[in-house]
Amino acid sequence: MRVHKEILLLTSLFLFFISPFHLRALAPSSGYVIESVQYHIEGRTWEYALAKKIDFKVGMTFPNKEELEEFLQDKQQLLINQRVLAEARITYTTTPRTDGSTGVHVDVFTVDTWNLIILPYFKFDSNKGLLLSIRTRDFNFLGSMETLKLDLDYTITTTKQNEFGQTLEFKVPFRLLDRDFKVGLSESLTYNADDNTYDFSAVVSLDMDISFLQRIWTIGVSQGYYYDDTDFYGDTYYYQTILSFGTEFETPFTIGKWNHVLYSPKIYTKANYWPGKELSEDRRGYGPGFYHEVSVERIDWVGNFRSGGSFSIGNDLYFDVPKNAWERKIDWSLIGHRAFGWFQLSGRFSGLYAFDKDLGIDPDDDLGAPVRGILDDRLVGNLVFYLNTDILIKMWTWFMDPYLEIQAGPFFDYALTKRKNRAIDWKNDSWYGGGFQVLVFPRFARSFYIRGSIGWDMEAVLKDNRLTGTSSRDGFKRYEIFIGLGHHY
């Protein structure tokens, strides 16, 4: 009965957002009318990709010059937020129209930054070990404003084993037969030289947009192949197929100067299988699912600081037909950034609730990943709350200033977990991580920056005043080191 009520509530919400009340069009009026948009691109960025990012619509009408210029200024900031661009500006000219309104002709000027990086790279992650790698990143792959990732890796794991690996990932949007498509590939191969074992996966995906009920819907299909000699569930190889159909609704609600709140429903069907072979009980299965999310986001780059925030809450409902069982989960995230000239404050409150089982038992769950200083595999639970806080300070770099910018500062993270069918134990279910991080931004490439951090299990450190060793709580290391690309959140 509870499941039926849940489905009825979700269906009512879905119908509310596709009602004609929300299918609004821009009403024509006198004033300023956008008649044309011209793109002037220095670099290899596609005009199609740039137009998708800022979404100008010819025919948009503004009642006065002030609202027009505010709109164009906002679009210019959206371009500045694209780190694949070194420069971006928008100008306009006007001409009189026969109906008494003013025609607006918009010019968009952009200059690409340096987006192709090939370099030796190392990363030490306390969860996985020491990584030596040749990294290739094209942050503007084929001019699509999407990232190509190609890695050649050698890893010394935390158990002193030698692994060789390769990873290839990309997504490319394109337009064909008057429709928008996006094709993607995610492939990885790892060879463990000590155990002579292989771990391989390849997922090919294709999304296509169609017009239905006066809006754009996305049909998606992905086909995956997985092979692992040491699979956690004992399945050496299997296929996974996912079909999906969803859309995105812009609601009439806004939060401050952020964008409109979006509602994004999606139905899907998923199947794990191998012809002629029965998979393990934990992995085999097929069935329908429904995912929907409410979200809003606006994060602007101010130099190399960020200002703004985002909020999202999503609900996933999947019914496994052979098991006659539901898999249900809710996840949420609230992020805020505020730049103050020479320093930035950031925070995130996030979490998840799995209705039907504890997470963190499977090594791939990485339930502790949001907490720096706590190794990823230490947390287990079906309800988790996370809190992250950061201060970043722009450092004085003296003669290096023409070449790079450095930011550094402390962070503090917290997690509270709850096991299924157990009450919260505040002492044993609370996790505290704290430490320091450094970010390096090369001047020649806006799209590329490096972060290094060291965090400690603060409970263990305060207990015996030692920074190294293991935690008396569960025997895991009490520190976590990370060197890699991008922000933590």
Given a contact cutoff of 8 angstroms between Cβ atoms, the answer to whether 100 and 120 are in contact is no
Joined together, the tokens standing for residue 130 give: 């020491």
What tens digit of pLDDT does each residue of 459-469 get? 999 999 999 98
DSSP H or E run through 234: none
In the prediction, which pLDDT does 17 show?
A: 46
Secondary structure (3-state) at 472: coil
Pick the most confident of 15-19, 219-223, 256-260.
Answer: 219-223
- CATH 3.30.930.10, domain 31-112, yes or no: no
DSSP 477: B
In angstroms, the CA 348 to CA 387 distance is: 6
Residue 145: CB atoms within 10 Å = 23
What tens digit of pLDDT does each residue of 96-110 get? 999 999 999 999 999
What tens digit of pLDDT does each residue of 284-331 get? 889 999 999 999 999 999 999 999 999 999 999 999 999 899 999 999
In angstroms, the CA 455 to CA 439 distance is: 15
> What is the tally of helices (H) and strands (E) in the chain?
4, 23
In the prediction, which pLDDT does 15 show?
A: 47
Given a contact cutoff of 8 angstroms between Cβ atoms, the answer to whether 413 and 388 are in contact is yes
**Phi, psi (deg, nearest 5) at residue 440:** -120, 125
- Burial of residue 327 (number of CB atoms within 10 Å: 0-12, 13-18, 19+): middle
Work out whether strand 102-112 and strand 32-42 pair parallel, antiparallel, or are unpaired.
parallel
In the prediction, which pLDDT does 12 show?
A: 52
Any idea which residue has 């006198």 for tokens?
30
In the chain, what are the domain boundaries? 31-112, 340-489
C-alpha dihedral sign at 453, 459, 460, 465? positive
Distance of CA 41 to the CA centre of its chain: 27
What tens digit of pLDDT does each residue of 112-127 get? 999 999 988 877 767 7
Percent of the chain scoring above 70 in pLDDT: 94
Distance of CA 480 to the CA centre of its chain: 22
Which candidate, 112, 105, 109, places its Cα nearest to that of 40? Answer: 109
DSSP letters, 251-267, are EEEE-TTS-EEEEEEEE
In angstroms, the CA 151 to CA 314 distance is: 32
Given a contact cutoff of 8 angstroms between Cβ atoms, the answer to whether 311 and 255 are in contact is yes
- Calculate the CA dihedral of residues 155, 156, 159, 165 and round it to 10 degrees: 20
Of the two residues 131 and 148, the one the predictor is more confident about is 148
Residue 31's contacts (CB-CB under 8 Å, 6 or more residues apart) are: 61, 62, 63, 64, 68, 101, 102
Asked whether residue 10 carries a pLDDT value surpassing 90, the answer given is no
Joined together, the tokens standing for residue 26 give: 């821009």
Distance of CA 33 to the CA centre of its chain: 35
In angstroms, the CA 214 to CA 211 distance is: 7
The DSSP bridge partners found for residue 122 are 132
In angstroms, the CA 441 to CA 421 distance is: 47
Which candidate, 85, 134, 92, places its Cα nearest to that of 110? Answer: 85
Distance of CA 164 to the CA centre of its chain: 27
Joined together, the tokens standing for residue 13 give: 């919400």
In the prediction, which pLDDT does 258 show?
A: 80
